A and B are shown apart, each in its own frame.
Chain A
Amino acid sequence: MSIQNDSLLSIRKLACGELSVKARLGYVALLLASAAMTVVIVSLWFTEPSLPPRTHWAFGAMSAIGTSWATLAVWALTTRRVLFARDKVIAGYMAVTFTLAFVIGALAAVLISQRAAAFMALTTGVLMLGVAVRVLGSARRRFAALSARRAELARMTA
């Protein structure tokens, strides 16, 4: 019996580490930041005329780094630090806030510089904002559905 109890205690410790909200939302922040960084770099890369070859290599390397971080974050969020319904709503709000700030920044850059890179970043930012709004809507609906079922079951078991 004591071995079973020891096992129970170790599982509880394991759960404490696994269920860290900070780690989950940290990966969400990493995904948003790396996606924004990649969009800015790719926008500059594709819109700057007559770049020397080594600058192409530098932009390529930075884009690859940004994409790698974003891929890592997606992998972690889908397999290791899966978001629960409440986390998804928070992540959705984070995504909307972040992409909105990005769009405002890109819009300011368009108005000030009129550069093609700013237009490209703005277009991509608007697309990202659309995705973020959809993700938030889906997360809120899922959270509401689960909460309703939770209330129903709580009444049944009371």
Chain B
Amino acid sequence: MDSPADELLAIRCQLGERAAFDALITRWHPPLWRYLRRLANDDDTAHDLAQETWLRVLRAIAKLREPARLRPWLFGIARRTAMDRLRAQYTQPPMSDVNPEDIAAELPDANLEEEFATLEVSVGSLPIVEREVLALFYLRELSLEEISVLVEVPIGTVKSRLFRARQLLRRDLKTTGVYQ
């Protein structure tokens, strides 16, 4: 559940307060833009996706049923917008040969999280499916359950994608010498 401040913002928007929309955009555009930028991998596409996302948000927020869940709702719209645009690239089959126990053991590794900020290029080179989960989990700090709802796949698949993203990233960083 989001903070009361976010719920308040959503309700003020639903009431139709003009100033609340300015506050909503100021508060949520930067994280949405960064998320879309990572999915799109280029500024122009991210810009188009952000416009389309906000258009959808402004047209749908009056019907938002749970204002207390503003954050996953916003990222859900951003994701659907991006997926509509990038559907052609969104064909990576889910991994099936990964042991869930290994995945669970991998998740709490926090050291890698700190390195992501300086590893834009490596993250950007990941396939869209893995990049998205990685961005949501580490950069947007959404829980596995929230990502599962957002991406509309089971939690096990989210873990698989996260595991694979970390593997790919580690391999890439080893070849570049960043990760020992």
Contact = CB atoms under 8 A, between A and B. Distances in A.
Interface in A1-55: 3-4, 6-8, 10-12, 14-15, 18-19, 21
Interface residues of B, number: 34
Interface residues of A, number: 30
Contact of A14 (B14, B55, B62): B55
B55 A7 contact: no
Contacts of B102: none
A157 B58 contact: no
Contacts of B67: 149
Given A84-B16, A150-B8, A11 B59 contact: no
A10 B47 contact: yes
Contact of B15 (A4, A18, A84): A84
A153 B13 contact: no
B25 A12 contact: yes
Contacts of A85: 14-16, 62
Contact of A84 (B7, B30, B37, B62): B62
Nearest to B52: A14
A60 to B, nearest CB: 34
A86 interface: yes
A154 interface: yes
Contacts of B120: none
Contacts of B11: 146, 149-150, 153
Given A15-B21, A21-B16, A84-B14, 18 more contacts: A4-B29, A7-B46, A7-B47, A8-B26, A8-B33, A10-B51, A11-B25, A14-B54, A19-B58, A79-B59, A82-B59, A82-B62, A83-B62, A85-B14, A86-B16, A146-B11, A150-B11, A156-B4
Interface of B: 4-5, 7-8, 11-18, 21-22, 25-26, 29-30, 33-34, 37, 43, 46-47, 50-51, 54-55, 58-60, 62-63, 67
